[in-house]
Amino acid sequence: MCGISGIFSKNKLSGSSILNSLKSIKHRGPNNTIHTSFFDKEIHFYSSQLSDKRTQFDLRNSDGIQANNWIGFNRLSIIDLSNNGMQPFYDNDAKISFMMNGEVYNFKELRNEFLSDVDFISDSDSEVAFQLYLKLGIDFVQYLRGMFVIVIVDYQKNEVNIWRDRFGIKPFYYFLDEENFIFSSEIEGIFATDLVQKEINFKHLAYTFYLNSSFAPNTIYNNIYSLEAATQLKVDLSNFKSEKNQYWQLNYQPNHQLISSEEFLNDVDKVVNLSSVSDVKQAIMLSGGLDSGLLAYMIGQKNSDIDALTIYNESVPEQNELAFAKSNALNANLNIKAFEIENQVDLQTIKECCFAEEEPNSSPEPAYFLTKKAKQNNYTVLHNALGLDELFYGYGYYNQAKKLEKYQAFLWKPFRYFLTGSKRNKYEEISTFGLEATPFIMRSFSSWKAIQQLFSMHGSADWEHPISVLMNKVKSTNINFEKMPLLKKISYLDFYYYISSHHSLRTDSPAMKNEIEMRFPYLDHLFVQKYFNCSFLDQDLSKENNKSFLRKNVQTILPKDVLSMKKKGFSMPTSKWLESVNLEQDFPELKTYFGENYKNWIDHPSKKWFLISTSLLMKKK
């Protein structure tokens, strides 16, 4: 895990730009920093901490150096804690450089299968990925299991290639014009170079308000892009032309064969075991639900030294899962540490929470507070149970969509006349965009019409509906989408969009602000593809409980109280936090961005938090 940055330009630049970028994302890799330049047909290293196997330069000397190409790396040591694992890696001729942010979980198997004849300088997973590229070329990515952004610079071919993992767990942002290619693990790393001007794209900001996040390749900033999941980006440094290639896709190939509990639990055990490799202290994010309960159980079977961490808030009893989380921990034989979220915080805490994210959000991110506690207790890796709700129809909108599908033919038009306000707007949007759009519409805390009104001073009347934009992109990139059954379409959209553009984004950035690596064992692409193909899941959706398949297969290993608990979901005490906030007084710039319209848009805590986080990120330097 690390933070990476790079600058490639037609103009010669000093090392100050790459240094400023690396300093701005230092939290992503606090252990070591190294940056390199390429000029005079040679690689030049600048670092105060390097393996004795590499040339050593004083970090301060790079500012006076002029070069067209700079790359930099901040390291958070996870596997092979020695300096031998420092990046960038170079081939023997110093013509190809390699940087990776993330983890390749199956690196030991790959090393044994393909690279037994290679003389390694480290025991790291990143060097295995690099050597695999040198041996297999661009097909190397097909063998990697994990979460990663990989950047490979070929100085002979004068090109840069980047790969982002299949579910977009690790971030990659970039700026590209006719003279410059600038990238970083965080948007702030690009602006910190002082080579790119910060400009808000109000249309994409409005899309973020509706969808709860922007969707790749767009961000809320003009000319700043996010590389899509499962995508390779190639940039020709001779002319700064680029091309993209989607190297993997989640496809539905119906498998009608039933899967036994034994087979399912064995599959879960494999992916959990695979993602547990680490040379640092680990813990699991634990709730009272099935998904994290299963994850805890599997981890506890192999390693009871891994602790469980949970957060709770007693002011909302109906969402307090502490008792169930303790039950899960006891069942897994794991020690649990519980941290209470305060009901009252000052404005500085609100600012701190908002600055932990790349883009505006509708509420404080729980992962920020849990990872902050994790860091204080000396953990470096946290395991997250994301993925099973999307795979086994765990969210309420799966049932909602199924019911609407059943009744829409004869009840749709007359039914809407009995609805008023936001409910009527939502059902009209579902009628327009199709049942597969149900999750986006149901999750949104405001209609698109209301958001257009908020952004009216920016020409919003002419903006296309965000769902229309998103669905057009989905259908253009997956020709099989229209052939999928309804629930598979929704599941696909959850994986295609909501995981990479929302869930992982909302956890990776806050976690890395606290120097914590977040892992998602269930987001193994082979595991997801296998169970996504299971056609019987569509008939297995229970009226009483979602995730019927999962529930049946964990009956014998999870506590009874957890099995019978209805899905709750943890919510932050946003409304209580905002009681002391005066928008007009504390955030006067909102009037500049939205005129008087914002005053009609504060009837819900999510809306208020969105406005606050937007204002703070706009002012951030």
3-class DSSP state for residue 496? helix
Alpha helices in 238-335 (DSSP H): 261-274, 290-302, 322-332
Spatial separation of the C-alpha atoms in residues 416 and 432, rounded to whole Å: 13
**Does residue 125 have a known ligand-binding role?**
yes
The DSSP secondary structure of 95-155, one letter per residue, reads: -EEEEEEEEETTHHHHHHHH-TT---S---HHHHHHHHHHHHGGGGGGG--EEEEEEEEET
Q: 616: number of CA atoms within 13 Å, CB side?
A: 23
How far apart are the two ends of the chain, measured CA to CA in Å? 25
Can you spell out the DSSP letters for 13-58?
Answer: E-THHHHHHHHHTGGG-BSEEEEEEEETTEEEEE-SS--TTS----
CB 567 within 8 A of CB 393: no
Q: 325 Cβ partners below 8 Å, 6+ apart?
A: 286, 287, 288, 292, 308, 310, 312, 336, 338
Q: What is the 3-state secondary structure (H, E, C) of 442-483?
A: HHCCCCHHHHHHHCHHHCHHHCCCHHHHHHHHHHHHCCCHHH
* Rg of the chain, C-alpha, whole Å: 24
What are the two backbone dihedrals, phi and then psi, of residue 74, each rounded to the nearest 5 degrees? Answer: -105, 130
Q: How far is CA 262 from CA 266, 267, 534, 556, in A?
A: 6, 9, 16, 11
**Binding-site residue ranges:** 125
**Binding-site residue ranges for L-glutamine:** 125
